A and B are shown apart, each in its own frame.
Chain A
Amino acid sequence: QSALTQPPSVSGSPGQSVTISCTGTSTDVGGYNRVSWFQQPPGTAPKLMIYEVTNRPSGVPDRFSGSKSGNTASLTISGLQAEDEADYYCISYTTTNTWVFGGGTKLTVL
Chain B
Amino acid sequence: QVQLVESGGSVVQPGRSLRLSCKASGFTFSSCAMHWVRQAPGKGPEWVAVMWFDESSKFYADSVKGRFTISRDSSSNTLYLQMNSLRTEDTAVYYCAKDRTGSYTWDYWGQGTLVTVSS
Contacts and interface: CB of A to CB of B under 8 A. Distances in A.
Interface residues of A, number: 27
Nearest to B60: A98
A18 interface: no
A100 B104 CA distance: 12
Interface stretch (B14-22, B24-32, B105-113): B105-113
Interface string B10-53: 00000000000000000000000001000000001111001000
Nearest to A96: B59
A103 B46 CA distance: 9
B104 A45 contact: no
Chain B CB within 10 A, most for which of A32, A91, A99:
A99
A34 interface: yes
B75 interface: no
A89 interface: yes
B107 A45 contact: no
B44 A102 contact: yes
Contacts of A21: none
Contact of B45 (A48, A55, A101): A101
Given A1-B61, A98-B59, A98-B61, A93 B44 contact: no
A57 B107 contact: yes
**B-side interface size class:** 20 to 34
Chain B CB within 10 A, most for which of A51, A55, A87, A93:
A51
B104 A89 contact: no
Nearest to B107: A48
Contact of A52 (B57, B62, B103, B107): B103
Contacts of A102: 44
A45 B61 contact: no
21 contacts: A1-B61, A1-B62, A1-B63, A36-B103, A36-B105, A36-B106, A38-B45, A45-B112, A48-B100, A48-B107, A51-B100, A51-B105, A52-B104, A89-B44, A91-B45, A97-B57, A98-B47, A99-B104, A100-B47, A101-B47, A104-B44
Interface of A: 1, 3, 32, 34, 36, 38, 40, 45-46, 48, 51-52, 55, 57, 87, 89, 91, 93, 96-104
